[in-house]
Amino acid sequence: MLFSSIEFFLFLSVFVIAIFFLKNNQRNIIIIFSLFFYSYWNYFFFPLIIFFCLATYFLIKKNLRLIISIPLILLPLIYFKYSLFLVNLLNLDLLREFSYKGELPLAISFVTFTIIAVLVDRKNQENDQYNLKNLSEYILYFPQLIAGPILRLKQLFPQLNNKISFIKENIKIGIILFCIGYIKKVFFADNIALLIDPYFEDPQIASRQDLIQAFLLFPVQIYFDFSGYVDMALGVSKIFGINLPQNFNMPYHATSITDFWRRWHITLSNWFKDYLYIPLGGSKNGKLKNYLNLIVTMTIAGIWHGASLNFILWGFLNGIILCFEKLFNLVSLKYNFIKNIFACFIIFNLWIFFRISDFPSIIVFFDNLYLADESLLVLENFLTLFFVIIIVFLQKFENHNFLFFLSKKLNFSFIISFFLIILLLGFSISLGQSEKFIYFQF
């Protein structure tokens, strides 16, 4: 059930009515609706999400050591997402029939990381305030269930203990955030995908001009797609009076790869920093150990994105560049405008490794992109580049403080009218449906 679909608006309307008239059963309503929201995609995985809730409660109640509880929570992820990849990589033909070959459970990586955060954070708290119902509510909370942001206990748990209240100011900023996300997804990300997806599927048959378009537009597509989902999630949650953390902060304004990972998918970057990089030793124990920790962390971040060698390479290259920036202290250099252009160029190239799964196609893509005889100096390329520059510039207006200030200045009836117009235009473009969000596969 996509946030941009008619089904979701029907689902959300029933949820709001249920919360409004059955306030004393709020926790049960959130759990039931969230279970329906998750299983709507594929009811076959309904037992899996139930397992996650029961296992989390059991592991906390038994107070098992993290060295035992974390591997237990990781087992479903390893089986569903990585078993076939490992069998093929290691040529374990005898185990091939036992590996999983079907469709991935929706957002299994997000759910797993959320639970690991629960287990780790729970160890650092003295008060035992967790029962099966409130843990399930925290894990299942539908606005962030499928693709984040990845939450910590202290960010969401206390808010879910409060009654949902529909306050006018929250509704206004929530609708504005949702509209921004909806426009990003339906008006931009989906239409860009229709244009460039064929070029990535078979770079061999694409011209140099096609590949330049793909090179320039995929970073825009994945940003609009993922940040669009998060904006809609934050908007829906804000309508309920629940604040989710910001997950993007003008990522293509970054002046280095280090800076980029502080701005892109912020909650995932913080998760890897707090639960992997720092436990490995972080920047302690000398420079060489620090570089190794960076490479290991980013490589595992690549593996988290997908069971494929291209994701491993993508993460590894990010780690190498982070080490390079630390080694030469590039972050401290001046001329931020030049650094921003250079950082975007590197980021855009790295996205190719993220987008294309097989190495021969990656080689063909780069070969045709940089070594082909066709001229770069054509009007189509300049128009595409100009579009990308405008999009990057407009990120500065996505500041949530600015949007909150704007929502106070706008009339409620104007916001509702704008919302309805955007929905009608979007439904006319997408026929009430939309492409699946890229990060749903993770």
Residues 6+ apart with CB under 8 A from 260: 251, 254, 343, 347
400 is catalytic: no
Distance separating alpha carbons of residues 27 and 430, to the nearest angstrom:
34
What is the Cβ-side half-sphere exposure of residue 334, based on CA atoms within 13 angstroms? 0
Picking from 249, 30, 58, the residue whose alpha carbon sits closest to that of residue 145 is 30
Residue among 180, 179, 302, 175 nearest 240 (CA): 175
How many angstroms separate the CA atoms of 115 and 218, rounded? 31
Tokens of 226: 């993922």
The stretches of 273-411 forming alpha helices (DSSP H) are 278-280, 287-305, 309-327, 336-355, 359-370, 379-394, 400-409
- CA gap 441, 311 in Å, rounded: 13
Which CA distances in Å does 81 have to 59, 263, 303, 379? 23, 27, 10, 43
Rounded Cα–Cα distance for residues 258 and 314 (Å): 15
Name the DSSP class of 410. S
Distance CA 81, CA 104 (A): 7
SS3 content of the chain, % helix, strand, coil (to 5): 75, 0, 25
Catalytic residue among 253, 265, 305, 400: 305
Q: Count of alpha carbons within 13 Å of 50, Cβ hemisphere only? A: 8
For the four alpha carbons of 39, 45, 47 and 49, in that order, the dihedral sign comes to negative
What is the spatial distance between Cα 388 and Cα 394, in angstroms, rounded to a whole number?
10
What's the Rg (C-alpha) of the chain? 22
Tell me how far apart the alpha carbons of residues 353 and 344 are, in angstroms, rounded to a whole number: 15
Residue closest to 49 by CA, chosen among 150, 146, 149: 146
Q: Which two structure tokens, joined as six digits, stand for 39? A: 């299983």
Those residues with Cβ within 8 angstroms of residue 94's Cβ, 6 or more apart along the chain or in another chain: none
The catalytic residues are 305
